[in-house]
Amino acid sequence: MEFLRSSPGKIELLSANDRVIKLWKTVLKQQKEHTACQVDGFNLWMPQSRIVGEGFQATEKNVYRGCHDYNINSLSLSSDG
């Protein structure tokens, strides 16, 4: 595995096994909890949200199949596309 910095708050990750190389995008997400709207006589209380927790969420950005047909000594991103 190799970690790559792409922009603030985001981390890209290269992972490899014996058949496939995958590029993952990870983002720090906040879990929020929302309260219901309440009516108390003539008062209307709007819904409130609060942060319950936070953690990383990973999604596959790209899958490179058949790359192990070649001799790969290291993994890195290149600027030529």
* Mean predicted lDDT score pLDDT of the chain: 80
What CA–CA distances, in Å, run from 30 to 33, 52, 56? 10, 8, 9
pLDDT at 22 over 60: yes
> Measured between alpha carbons, how far is 49 from 30 in angstroms, rounded to an integer?
11
Q: Domain ranges for the chain, please list them.
A: 2-69
pTM above 0.85, yes or no: no
DSSP characters for 11-66? EEEEEE-SSEEEEEEEEEEEEEEEPPPEEETTEEEPP-EEEEEEEEEEEEEEEEES
Of the CA atoms within 13 Å of residue 18, those in its CB half-sphere come to 0
Summarize pLDDT for 43-58 with one digit per residue, the tens. 888 888 999 998 888 8
**Cβ-contact 2, 75 below 8 angstroms:** yes
